[in-house]
């Protein structure tokens, strides 16, 4: 197993290109199941999760073709073509490592009239049931059966009827599944208390480009007028607001000045707001965001929340930054109940953090010290890299398969701005 070595103390300076958004890409790819025509996605990040989802799509008879991009380039252009579906089952071996696999359920039952998907896996950051996925699809006319670790959905009469569903709590994945399914349903569907994340806007914009009719894009009430068929399209994946926020924290903790080329300041507004309160200078324009930190960092109170609130996917990275801030910070994690698994690892590096349920109290320290640490989930692993960039000595981060799920060639991008970081084989 590889590990990453980070030798702290370098001030980051320069430009980092921001990749296409992982969380958007994993929602856009299954849209290929909704049409017989080719779907070409540009700016797809080179990530383990994207490769895994591409492999899952071939399970259904979807052909894929990679265009143009050289291996040393960031991002890829891939065309997915589901002219004829040859299967409707997503097996356990392909689904167990990637929670996003559940997103094939809605489009598959909408197109083929049935779908069988293994219960998904992913990061162990808390209880993430799929009951809202299933209930929303039932509201659209699907019959759901759970048996032997699989979910089977069947459209009554061979095609979803459409319907109304009010989410009892905001759910990004369930909203995505329902929107895709409703786009090919017979009638008009209304989704209330829908998630509003930029990745859902990106999904809706792609579906519209494919011929879907959706009202209320970007709001909590979506009205989808089902179509008989959808066409293919060529579409560029939005920039990754979480990757951009992560590198912003990396720049800030080193007192650096880094340009996040291609980042969308509007999509990451809550992160930039938090950074500014911490004392970081953030300047956004149409082509990217510039981060600079040459003054003291300040402790703050932060709470995660559904969009437009602070993304739970930024909590660990901001916590790493706050370990070096003056005074105390209080973080509230409201989305997942088990998302402080990185805390013991940060404490190994000298951080002063106390957790009480979903609350973390971070008291800033003068310095961190490099240590051997273990990644516990995707965003937690990035928090350890961020801490390592400021720590004295060498930090070794193990279990890199978490990082590789969500950060495209992380060490190369950090090397571009002067970080002393490398990936090596584990002895």
Among 10-24, 118-132, 138-152, 310-324, name the one with the lowest average pLDDT: 118-132
What pLDDT does residue 124 have? 40
Q: Where are the domains of the chain?
A: 2-16+240-425, 24-236
Runs of H (alpha helix) within 17-65: 22-28, 48-58
Q: Is 22 annotated as a binding residue?
A: yes
The pLDDT tens digits of the residues spanning 79-108 come to: 999 999 999 999 888 887 777 889 999 999
What pLDDT does residue 338 have? 72
Q: Is 129 annotated as a binding residue?
A: yes
Among 90-94, 120-124, 194-198, name the one with the lowest average pLDDT: 120-124
Q: What topology does CATH give the domain 2-16+240-425? A: UDP-n-acetylglucosamine1-carboxyvinyl-transferase; Chain (3.65.10)
Q: Is 128 annotated as a binding residue?
A: yes
Q: What is the mean pLDDT of the chain?
A: 94
**For 42-65, what is the mean pLDDT?**
93
Q: Is 132 annotated as a binding residue?
A: yes
**Is pLDDT of 123 > 60?**
no
Measure the CA angle with vertex 288, ends 198 and 98; round to 5°. Answer: 40
CA 218, CA 220: separation in Å to the nearest integer? 7
Fold match, 2-16+240-425 / 24-236:
yes
Query: What is the end-to-end Cα distance of the chain in Å, rounded?
Result: 8
Residues annotated catalytic, as ranges: 123
Q: Is 131 annotated as a binding residue?
A: yes
**What b/e string do you get for 65-97 counting C-beta neighbours within 10 Å, with b at 16 or more?**
eeeebeeeebbbbbbbbbeeeeebbbebebbeb
Q: Is 267 annotated as a binding residue?
A: no
Task: Give the three-class secondary structure for 183.
Answer: coil
Looking at domain 24-236, what is its CATH homologous superfamily? Enolpyruvate transferase domain (3.65.10.10)
Q: Is 335 annotated as a binding residue?
A: yes
Q: How far lies 391's CA from each of 29, 121, 325, in Å?
A: 39, 33, 14
């Amino acid at each position: 197993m590889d590990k990453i070595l980070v030798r702290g103390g370098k001030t980051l300076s320069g430009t980092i290109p921001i990749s296409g958004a992982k969380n958007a890409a994993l929602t856009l790819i299954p849209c290929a199941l909704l049409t017989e025509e080719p779907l070409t996605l540009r700016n797809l990040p080179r990530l383990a999760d994207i490769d895994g989802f591409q492999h899952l799509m071939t399970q259904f008879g979807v052909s894929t073709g990679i265009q143009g991009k050289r291996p040393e380039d960031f991002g890829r252009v891939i065309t997915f073509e589901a002219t004829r579906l040859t299967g409707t089952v997503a097996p356990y071996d392909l689904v167990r490592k990637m929670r996003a696999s559940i997103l094939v359920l809605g489009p598959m039952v909408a197109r083929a009239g049935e779908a069988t998907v293994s219960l998904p896996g992913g990061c162990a950051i808390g209880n993430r049931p799929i009951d809202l996925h299933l209930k929303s699809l039932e509201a659209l006319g699907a019959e759901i059966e759970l048996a032997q670790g699989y979910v089977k959905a069947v459209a009554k009469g061979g095609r979803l009827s459409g319907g109304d569903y009010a989410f009892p709590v905001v759910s990004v994945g369930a909203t995505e599944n329902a929107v895709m399914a409703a786009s090919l349903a017979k009638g008009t569907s209304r989704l209330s208390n829908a998630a509003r994340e930029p990745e859902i806007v990106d999904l809706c914009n792609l579906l519209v480009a494919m011929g879907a009719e959706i009202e209320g894009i970007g709001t909590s009430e979506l009205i989808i007028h089902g179509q008989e068929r959808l066409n293919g399209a060529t579409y560029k994946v939005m920039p990754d607001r979480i990757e951009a926020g992560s590198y912003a924290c990396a720049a800030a903790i080193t007192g650096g000045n880094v340009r996040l080329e291609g980042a969308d300041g509007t999509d990451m507004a809550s992160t930039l707001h938090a950074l500014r309160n911490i004392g970081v200078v953030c300047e956004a324009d149409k082509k990217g965001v510039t981060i600079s930190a040459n003054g003291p960092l300040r402790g703050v109170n932060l709470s995660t929340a559904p969009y437009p609130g602070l993304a739970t996917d930024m909590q660990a990275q901001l916590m790493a930054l706050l370990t070096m801030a003056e005074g105390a910070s209080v973080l509230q994690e409201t989305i997942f109940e088990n998302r402080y698994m990185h805390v013991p690892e940060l404490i190994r590096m000298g951080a002063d953090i106390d957790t009480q349920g979903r609350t973390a109290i971070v008291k800033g320290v003068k310095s961190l010290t490099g240590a051997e640490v273990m990644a516990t989930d995707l965003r937690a692993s990035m928090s350890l890299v961020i801490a390592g960039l400021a720590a004295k000595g060498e930090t070794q981060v193990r279990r890199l398969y978490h990082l590789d799920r969500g950060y495209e060639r992380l060490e190369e991008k950090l090397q571009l701005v002067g970080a002393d970081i490398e990936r090596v084989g584990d002895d």
